Amino acid sequence: MNDLVTLTEEIVKSLVVDVDGVSVKEFPSEEENVMLIQVMVNEDDIGRVIGKDGKIANAIRTLVQASSALSDNKYVKIDIDKF
């Protein structure tokens, strides 16, 4: 599994109540040098991951993007959804 996917998963799991309900997957992107990561969490945990005005979600994106800049320097898009 990709390091950025693992990092994203660890961050999200530290925020939620239902740890087993977290799914983080990488999807191929049509754009070159872009990585797409999809985060799925339990409906009850979506607010914890997105945060007020999306601040937590943006913080997660910032951390993962900074980590990407240190390694393969790809642009990372993170999509957060509930199931």
Exposure on the CB side of residue 25, measured as CA atoms within 13 A: 7
Print pLDDT tens along the chain (83 aa).
Answer: 589 999 999 999 999 999 999 999 999 888 889 999 999 999 999 999 999 999 999 999 999 999 999 988 889 999 999 98
At which residue do the structure tokens 């990092």 appear? 7
In order of their start, the domains of the chain are: 3-82 (3.30.300.20)
- Global pTM reads 0.92
Spatial separation of the C-alpha atoms in residues 58 and 1, rounded to whole Å: 23
Rounded to the nearest 10°, the torsion over CA 73, 48, 50, 44 is 120
